[in-house]
Structure 1
Amino acid sequence: MTTAGSTGRKTPRLSADDWIAAAFDLLTDEGVAAVKIVTLCKRLRVTKGSFYWHFADINGLFEAMSAAWTAESDAYLRGLTELGAAPPAERIEQMTRRLVDHQTWARESAVREWARTHPVVADAVAQLDNRIFEVVQQTLTELGLTPEDARIRAGLLVYAGIGFVESRGSLPTPTPEDIHKMIEVIFT
């Protein structure tokens, strides 16, 4: 089934995932204040009825976005955990490569900004940060560090990663090689 857009052209019926993806694009491009039903409808060239088919209100969309972001982050962490057979240094390397991926850190930065005003998102971010810390700490322990040294160095890595996300655009973007050298400094 199709719906008529404002141009009279027929567009495919949107799914809830389509709305969530469009909302994330808007969040990343313009910030949480820009994520409005009217703006999304214009961007997607559909009527408000299409939005309300999937969500009761904007808060319903925000909850769905939070759940989607949490699921995406959980899948990434599961992937890291499943790399258990890979050398620990390779797992650390994969985490850093993801950190410098533009799309990843742009969305991460936008979600962290959104978390400042939305308690459900703030809770999801805090839970993710703690899970990342645990994965990094476990990986460093596997590299032969004492539990105390692993905890301290995991803190350095995780805090540096969060700082990188928060400072995007205001400081030079490190290359993967730069990050590799930073990690070497932490281990020496």
Structure 2
Amino acid sequence: MTTVDRPVRGRRAGAPLTADDWVRAGLELLAEEGPDALRLGRLCERLAVTKGSFYWHFTDISAYRATLADAWAARRDQQRRRFAAQRGMDPVERLQALMAELVRPEHWPLERAMRAWAMTDEAVADAVRSSDERLLAEIRRAFVDHGFDEEDAMLRACLLCNAGLGLLHQPHGGTVAPAPVRARVLDILMRR
């Protein structure tokens, strides 16, 4: 079964499509083929439905694309909230947990696609930028909790985020930094 023939994960065969089904299909297509694949015909083909089904849920492709950007940001914010909920943990352990979560390769295709899309769509760029700022604030908080002043904490948070983005955009999808390498990077950033 090709990805085109495959039903959207989690959808019961024969069940009416929901807006969430369209969003899941769009995020999957975006991760697999990039922003240029987000065309109505391509989405309908993937879901094996007519365009009428799309217009039942969305006014036009622009509204759909905005919904996709919001859905991606909501997923990232869910990760950030899990990290924020761990504020009672040791800051180093919090950052280790965050790094382990964010370097999981299954996140990378969609993350790369969103950032590529953000280069050509200002609304998507705003969603990516806002999400990054919220995540950066949580990482900065961990450095402050470890005893750094605001300025040092922000510098270290920026370095950690940019190192992660650098790995994300390596040719061939980057490589997952092994746990000992991640620990060493964090050890260096935690030094006074």
Please give the alpha-carbon distance, in whole angstroms, between the structure 2 residues aligned to 1:69 and 1:122: 12
Please give the alpha-carbon distance, in whole angstroms, between the structure 1 residues aligned to 2:102 and 2:73: 17
Going from structure 1 to structure 2, the CA distance change for 1:154 and 1:115 (only over 3 Å counts) comes to same
1:65 aligns with 2:68: yes
Going from structure 1 to structure 2, the CA distance change for 1:185 and 1:168 (only over 3 Å counts) comes to farther
Instruction: Give ranges in structure 1 of 5+ residues lacking alignment.
Output: 1-9
1:44 aligns with 2:69: no
Q: CA offsets per residue over residues 69-128 of structure 1, 9 Å max, x none?
A: 122222221221111111111210121112211222221111111111111110111111
Q: Does structure 2 conserve the Cα–Cα contact (< 8 Å) formed by 1:137 and 1:151?
A: yes
Where do residues 18-167 of structure 1 align in structure 2 (5 Å cutoff)?
A: 18-167=21-170
Tell me how far 1:158 sits from its aligned partner. 1.2
**In terms of mean alpha carbon deviation, does 23-32 or 77-86 score higher?**
77-86
Letter in 1 for 2:179: P
Please give the alpha-carbon distance, in whole angstroms, between the structure 1 residues aligned to 2:174 and 2:50: 41
Please report the TM-score for the alignment, with normalisation by the length of structure 1: 0.88
Q: Does structure 2 conserve the Cα–Cα contact (< 8 Å) formed by 1:100 and 1:175?
A: no
Q: Does structure 1 conserve the Cα–Cα contact (< 8 Å) formed by 2:168 and 2:174?
A: no
**In terms of mean alpha carbon deviation, does 75-84 or 113-122 score higher?**
75-84
**Aligned residues with identical type, % of pairs:** 35
Please report the TM-score for the alignment, with normalisation by the length of structure 2: 0.86
Q: Give RMSD over aligned pairs.
A: 1.6
**In terms of mean alpha carbon deviation, does 108-117 or 166-175 score higher?**
166-175
Q: CA offsets per residue over residues 18-43 of structure 1, 9 Å max, x none?
A: 11111111100001001111111111
Please give the alpha-carbon distance, in whole angstroms, between the structure 2 residues aligned to 1:119 and 1:127: 12
Q: Does structure 1 conserve the Cα–Cα contact (< 8 Å) formed by 2:167 and 2:175?
A: no
Letter in 1 for 2:77: D
Please give the alpha-carbon distance, in whole angstroms, between the structure 2 residues aligned to 1:123 and 1:137: 21
Please give the alpha-carbon distance, in whole angstroms, between the structure 2 residues aligned to 1:133 and 1:153: 10
